[in-house]
Amino acid sequence: ADVFTYDPGFTSTAACDSTITFIDGEKGELLHRGYPIDQLASQSHYLEVCYLLLYGELPSATQLEEFETLVTRHTMIHEQMHNFFRGFRRDAHPMATMVGVVGAMSAFYHDSTDINDDHQREVASIRLIAKMPTIAAMAYKYSIGQPFVYPRNDLDYASNFLNMCFSVPAEEYQANPILSRAMDRIFTLHADHEQNASTSTVRLASSSGANPFACIAAGIACLWGPAHGGANQACLEMLKEIGTVDRIPEFIARAKDKNDSYRLMGFGHRVYKNFDPRAKVMKQSADEVLELLGVDNNPILQVAKELERQALEDPYFAEKKLFPNVDFYSGIILEAMGFPTSMFTPIFALARTVGWISQWKEQLADPQLKIGRPRQLYLGETRRDYVDIENR
């Protein structure tokens, strides 16, 4: 008989080898190609981190300029894709629209679906990184009934995204450089995170030879769930539901109750058993952004800080090593910038695209690549004979 390891949730299975991202969950350390995330978030910027993840080294000034130009020149989407957006209901969740539109890219960019052509793999990577902000912004504009805004080549990646989300024909939008920087930092903090559920989904989809657009659409679908990328939306909704600091103990008690499935959103992580290093940077950024916008006494931020304090002092959270994760403070920043909660997970998806793509490329370059095909522990009926309907 076949012998295999039973590991539901893959808590102890390494499904691949990789040289991209390293996490030490006990220490709360996250490295991209060896560089600590806090250094990248404070000293680098998103497109440079994209280059690093994709190609393994920090770019020279010329390499970075070429890469940025290449991405900028691919930000428009095929004009006919506008009709595709228009087929959705206006009140569709932008993540639902994104799963469909990104999947449909394989119908619009046939040339880059050939995964055996090195050049086309490169083109597909650039197209996805470049077009994802356009697609996310269009999903948003469509959901609020405003006209689509075309990308602009004179703006940096984050400012262009803010412009596509907030500009209207009647009035030009001027992104505040501090907000653009905060947006860019949110992208950087979400860029990659080793073999999380959505990345593993992308790898599994790609292992069959599926095209890159289909694989990334699968990643987006997986990311949507509240235990994964959907936690940023769920977390802000939770903070609003709590509303005032005096109600915090009630919610902590629910999260601790064995008979209640309620969880504190933005808390806990499969790998981190210490502070999520991304959450630390995010918290600092939340303070900066709210101060800039003159809302540093924001009641939701007060609830978040007090909830964090009380949870960290609580023996339940200490014993289970539950700390705030990346999703805990990001929603506060995004809301202050003017995004509705439904846009939080699309922003995560657009930022994570480079991680998915880097891992997809790494996987395809592996000469040992096999189709991903887990086994199971069968607990059903043993063989039995079919019974006619009148005898059941």
Q: How far is the CB of 186 from ligand CMC (least distance, A)?
A: 13
Specify which residues 23 forms β-bridges with: 30
Q: How many residues line the site for ligand CMC (CB under 6 A)? A: 20
Q: Which of 269, 296, 385, 388 is catalytic?
A: 269
SS3 90: coil
Decide: 253 and 5 in contact? Cβ < 8 Å: no
Asked if 268 is part of the footprint of ligand CMC (rule: CB under 6 A), the reply reads yes
Active site residue 327: yes
Minimum distance of ligand CMC from residue 352's CB (angstroms):
9
Which residue from 208, 197, 215 is spatially nearest to 360, judged by alpha carbons?
215
Q: Angle 283-191-318 (CA atoms, 0-180°, nearest 5)?
A: 45
When the beta carbons of 76 and 227 are compared against ligand CMC, the nearer one is: 227
> Quick one: which of 74, 78, 228, 240 contacts ligand CMC (CB under 6 A)?
228
Using CB under 6 A as the binding rule, whether residue 195 contacts ligand CMC is answered as no
Q: Is 263 in the site for ligand CMC (CB under 6 A)?
A: yes
Helix (H) or strand (E) segment spanning residue 200: helix 197-206
Specify whether 110 is catalytic: no
* Cα dihedral across residues 202, 346, 230, 25: positive or negative: positive
Q: In the chain, at which residue ranges do the beta strands (DSSP E only) sit?
A: 21-24, 29-32, 35-36
Please say whether the beta carbons of 183 and 161 come within 8 A: yes
Token pair of 90, please? Answer: 């206006």
- Tokens encoding 310: 């009380």
Lookup result for tokens 């601790």? 256
Give the amino acid at 138: M
Residue nearest to ligand CMC (CB): 268
CA 168 to chain CA mean position, Å: 27
The answer to whether residue 231 forms part of the interface with ligand CMC (CB under 6 A) is: yes
**C-beta of 120: minimal distance to ligand CMC in Å?**
30
Which of 82, 270, 309, 375 is close enough to bind ligand CMC by CB under 6 A?
A: 270
Is residue 281 near ligand CMC by the rule CB under 6 A? no
* Positive or negative: CA dihedral 132, 136, 142, 146: negative
Catalytic residue among 156, 192, 276, 327: 327
Q: Does 255 bind ligand CMC (CB under 6 A)?
A: yes
Interacting positions 318-377 with ligand CMC (CB under 6 A) = 320, 322, 325-327
Maximum alpha-carbon separation in the chain: 78
97 near ligand CMC, judged by CB under 6 A: no
Nearer to ligand CMC by C-beta: 141 or 269? 269
Considering beta carbons, is residue 122 or 237 the nearer one to ligand CMC?
Answer: 237
**CB closer to ligand CMC out of 270 and 375:** 270
Other beta carbons within 10 Å of 375: 10
State which residue, 240 or 263, has the beta carbon closest to ligand CMC: 263
Binding site for ligand CMC (CB under 6 A): 9, 196, 227-229, 231, 255, 263-270, 320, 322, 325-327
List active site positions: 269, 327
